[in-house]
Structure 1
């Protein structure tokens, strides 16, 4: 993902300054630059153009429709349409690759009636929104996917339409490439301070690590797990912190003869197909505290003592597996409700949030970038109404609950 950016902005003032150039900042920049009603200037400030430690670089690049809120389902439906029609969205540019989704689906497994009831309730929302989620008994799961051990399973939930793996890195690359060709300026730098007007109602400028002071019409916080640090520069508190998530790629001595859905075990461990002969597994740390921004240390015991035994129990055919590679990444974790925080601050009116995606940001990036661009241009959302993600609920301690968080 390495890209050459200049370190110094070309101008001293921009209509929009986006802090963070990973998937959310890049999506917003592209939708701004691609909107005929916007002719302003955009600066994207990215502290690490290699993106080596960004959440975008560490993503598992999955997409699902199985959410508990209608709005989150519709957000992913737009993502699916955007990915499958990327070239068309980008003006028919023949350089843009044709993309699709590997639809092996997500399979949620419930081992108690309480969670089974949640899956039943969620399915009603999903079906009403046009998803094709099916509920499966243990016997039906065993018939379709005979490699699972379903002795403890009460119910399963699966959807194989627009649900599985997609090339998030490819979309990210084209967001950046196309927006830069449209005039968006990216710099390799870091915002270290902000200056507000005397009344405290607007951010007037941002200060870069290299010393430049850049005037801004609007500023977008797209800084991922560092969102709270960025917001504090404007005197704002936001409940987003880095939470560590582990990923392993492994091979099996006895591989399956069909694709493995992204399986969400009742323990919280998840695993899926990753290539023709490889698989991916992931889980949270335990305990799961906030970590330092630069803490990407692997807990090797987590695989040996927790993840591998769970996989081998759920899929006995995977008793003999070998880790090929592994990494730790960060969720930008919203501690209030694990849902996005979007839109303007109610008092610092030109400070715009694009934060707290808690692990489902990559698949939400097309809709969230589009919606943020709409708000920046029109002062309102024109397509999906994303106002339930507004900061007001944060200030009021009023969660916008999403039950299907992995």
Structure 2
């Protein structure tokens, strides 16, 4: 990243947050021939050691409860599979999606009804989701214990996991080569004009002040803190999510879909007899921004027993690695918050993705870049996720949150 002393005094767009959302927006801006401005990305932690982007499980799915989220992931799948073409660069390696799919399991009639309702939404949006009876699941995936299961839902088309780090790295690289500036610093203040309806400049931790035309809040789990600098409220908070990678003494004879157990524990294939599991504690409070401590009792008392119960072949497993990360959790409806603030018109939100950020970043970066350039969307209309619904307390509830 550039040293702070190399900064210009003014930029057309300043993006606070250099994770996947900030990088995607900057990259799309840099490739838009109609955008001729200067872009600065401010990132407080250039190592990304504790960023949500670095702790992602790199998964992608179309099994959402809202049609817009399905279409957002459909674009993401096309973007990942054709990254070199989208970035117009032959150096970009060919990426693909490991289409093992997501397997949602329902053990109550209420959960089964939700799967059926979601299936109708997904089917209408063009997703290849299939509902499966207990008998159908047992025939296709004989390793599950299914005595309590009423229904399953799976999609193996453009649904699984991918190399999210490669997408992130190439977006940053292409953006920088096209003139996007990245700086390692923390924003300490957002400075409004006299009327209070625009952000005129930002102040950095170095004491330097930089003027801006438009400002994007892409600060992940810290989004509410950034918004508060402008006197705005935002229902986004850090929620801790735990991940374990383990090796099975007796690997499965076929790939394991990303299985969402009714308990909330999820587990998926990695490769070569290695698997990845994730969960959160029963009580799911907001945590401190720097709280990444593991809860080892969660694995021993809940996660491992549930995995071994659902997949008896996983009775003998060994943890290879583990970590805790943060969801930027939208407490209103677990959906994205995008677009400009109605009163501070040059302050744009790109927040609250509640664990969907990596897979939604191509569409969100593209859409935000379009809004910054044209003042409207030219591809996928994201206005349903604009801030106005937050102010009106009008949630668009996403039911398929893991």
TM superposition score category, shorter chain reference: over 0.9
Q: Secondary structure at the match of 1:132?
A: coil
Q: Deviations over 1:288-331 (max 9, x none)?
A: 11000000000000000000000000000101111110000000
- 1:164 corresponds to which residue? 160
TM-aligned CA distance change 1:288 to 1:9, over 3 Å: farther
Q: Deviations over 1:123-149 (max 9, x none)?
A: 111111111111000111000000000
- 1:78 corresponds to which residue? 75
- 1:54 corresponds to which residue? 51
- 2:32 corresponds to which residue? 35
Which residue among 116, 134, 139 is the counterpart of 2:130? 134
Deviation at 1:90, TM superposition (A): 1.1
Q: Using the alignment, how far apart are the partners of 1:8 and 1:193 within structure 2?
A: 18
Q: Using the alignment, how far apart are the partners of 2:164 and 2:236 within structure 1?
A: 23
Deviation at 1:346, TM superposition (A): 0.5
Q: Residues 242-281 of structure 1: matches in 2 within 5 Å?
A: 242-281=238-277
Which residue among 268, 285, 290 is the counterpart of 1:289? 285
Q: Secondary structure at the match of 1:56?
A: helix
- Asked if residue 392 in structure 1 is aligned to residue 388 in structure 2, the reply is yes
Which residue among 62, 67, 71 is the counterpart of 1:65? 62
Q: Residues 229-378 of structure 1: matches in 2 within 5 Å?
A: 229-378=225-374
Deviation at 1:285, TM superposition (A): 2.2
Which residue among 205, 212, 215 is the counterpart of 2:211? 215
Deviation at 1:9, TM superposition (A): 4.4
Q: Secondary structure at the match of 1:8?
A: helix
Q: Using the alignment, how far apart are the partners of 1:264 and 1:6 within structure 2?
A: 45
CA contact (8 A) 1:106 1:262 kept: yes
CA contact (8 A) 1:14 1:214 kept: yes
Q: Using the alignment, how far apart are the partners of 1:369 and 1:142 within structure 2?
A: 40
Q: Deviations over 1:179-209 (max 9, x none)?
A: 0000000000111101101111000000000
- Asked if residue 199 in structure 1 is aligned to residue 198 in structure 2, the reply is no
Q: Using the alignment, how far apart are the partners of 1:401 and 1:36 within structure 2?
A: 36
TM-score normalized with structure 1 length: 0.98
- 2:223 corresponds to which residue? 227
- Asked if residue 44 in structure 1 is aligned to residue 41 in structure 2, the reply is yes
Q: Using the alignment, how far apart are the partners of 1:389 and 1:132 within structure 2?
A: 25
Q: Using the alignment, how far apart are the partners of 1:249 and 1:375 within structure 2?
A: 39
Q: Deviations over 1:241-282 (max 9, x none)?
A: 000000000011111011100000000000000122200000
- 1:19 corresponds to which residue? 16
CA contact (8 A) 1:101 1:165 kept: yes
- 2:120 corresponds to which residue? 124
TM-score normalized with structure 2 length: 0.99
- 2:172 corresponds to which residue? 176
- 2:85 corresponds to which residue? 88
Q: Using the alignment, how far apart are the partners of 1:135 and 1:70 within structure 2?
A: 18
CA contact (8 A) 1:343 1:390 kept: yes
Q: Secondary structure at the match of 1:354?
A: strand
Size of the alignment, in residue pairs? 402
Unaligned runs of 5+ residues in structure 1 are: none
Q: Using the alignment, how far apart are the partners of 1:5 and 1:154 within structure 2?
A: 56
Q: Secondary structure at the match of 1:194?
A: strand
Q: Using the alignment, how far apart are the partners of 1:70 and 1:358 within structure 2?
A: 17
RMSD: 0.7
Q: Using the alignment, how far apart are the partners of 1:323 and 1:5 within structure 2?
A: 39
CA contact (8 A) 1:332 1:357 kept: yes
